[in-house]
Homo-oligomer: A and B are copies of this chain.
Amino acid sequence: MSKKKVTIRDVAKHADVSIAAVSYVLNNKEHKVSEDTVALIHQSIKELNYIPSISARGLVNNTSQLIAVIIPQTEEHKQLVFQNPFYSEMISNIEATVRHDGYHVLLAGVEKGKSYLDISVSRNLDGAILIGIYPEELYEECKQANIPIVLVDSYIHDHYFANVGIDDEHGGYIATKHLIDNGHTHIAIATGSIRRDGVVEKRFLGYKRALQEAGIAYRSEYVFGESVSFEHGHDTGCLIAKDFPEITAVFATADVMAFGIIRGLMENGLSVPDHISVIGFDDISWAHMFFPPLTTVRQHIANKGQQAAQLLLNQIRSNKLLSTEEKQVIVPLEVVSRSTVRKLNG
């Protein structure tokens, strides 16, 4: 039924050489094999339609040409957090870059019990990219696997890991400042849970700094922190519309949330930006498709994905002799002004 798999042995036989010879030309080693033989072998490979087995190869040199991309998953359904297009965009770019170098992407979430380590060693991963923040233990496991790892948007500072991220505090700052510069003084912030140190907190800190710098009093009632989701945005949009008439602007620490806020506001008869201004964060590709087009702080996601992938590939190839400094990448931020922020008193 299933036509026998063609192996290196078949090729060797067909070309009437040793399998070593075939292996050498396969890996075009500097090992000496005459032009003629090389051609002959290539010929046989073509004719037999030979494709080397990555498993077999991996067995001997501890390699898999596979890199894992780990992204968070929802608590309830254990599904990858794909509602936020941020992840899709990252992955899409990571995949494209690594594929270009002959690697493939293993996409996975991390289960509670099943450790990351399992998949890493059982599959002989060549590297991994972890997007987001995970429980402390996971990072320890990662180190044990002893393969190059790049962390994206995690504030774990351990010389073992490479990092690509953004200056979230600064991001929070320029977002808020943009609002202030447009005359707003009653500015709310919608964000995720601030308990955990990380992205969310930094952006929040930036928000506070901008406020302070402008001499605007910080009010804890104006921070709506729960989860980074459309739903939470929607809830706070409704809340603001109903109970906070004095608020004229809100900074959402993720575009998805901004969408939710705008939606909640609209449902309650408030229009954006006429009644309330909203600024997002990320600039996912949907930001400009939304109506009204979302003003947001852009963190060139595509670029971020590419950099993460490239950083990983470099480590893999260079056998991780990269210095700690070389392993830190901060991608730049900028606010892109579209249609959801209105100038006050203008």
Cβ-based interface call for A225 (8 A): no
Query: A53 touching B124 by the CB < 8 A rule?
Result: yes
Query: B104 touching A106 by the CB < 8 A rule?
Result: yes
Identify A59's interface contact among B55, B92, B107, B260, CB under 8 A.
B55
Residues of B within 8 A of A109 (CB): 95-96, 99
Residues of B within 8 A of A289 (CB): 230, 234, 259-260, 263
Mask, A55-78, CB within 8 Å of B = 1, is 110110010101000000100011
Cβ-based interface call for A52 (8 A): yes
Count how many chain A residues have C-beta atoms less than 8 Å from C-beta atoms of the other chain: 58
Smallest Cβ-Cβ distance to A5: which chain B residue: B121
Which of A80, A118, A146 has the most chain B CB atoms closer than 10 A to its own CB? A80
Interface hit among A33-41, A81-89, A193-201, A329-337:
A81-89
Cβ-based interface call for A318 (8 A): no
Cβ-based interface call for A44 (8 A): no
Residues of B within 8 A of A291 (CB): 262-263, 266, 291
Query: A82 touching B78 by the CB < 8 A rule?
Result: no
Residues of B within 8 A of A56 (CB): 55, 59
Query: A123 touching B146 by the CB < 8 A rule?
Result: no
Answer whether A79 and B96 are a contact pair too, CB < 8 Å, given A51-B121, A122-B52, A266-B291.
Answer: yes
Identify A92's interface contact among B64, B79, B99, B117, CB under 8 A.
B79
Query: A108 touching B117 by the CB < 8 A rule?
Result: no
Answer whether A82 and B89 are a contact pair too, CB < 8 Å, given A2-B146, A53-B124, A55-B124.
Answer: yes
The 5 residue pairs across chains A and B that have the minimum distance between CB atoms = A82-B88, A55-B55, A82-B92, A80-B92, A55-B58
Provide a sorted-by-A list of 8 A–B residue pairs whose CB atoms are within 8 angstroms.
Answer: A56-B59, A77-B96, A79-B93, A80-B92, A80-B95, A80-B96, A82-B88, A105-B107
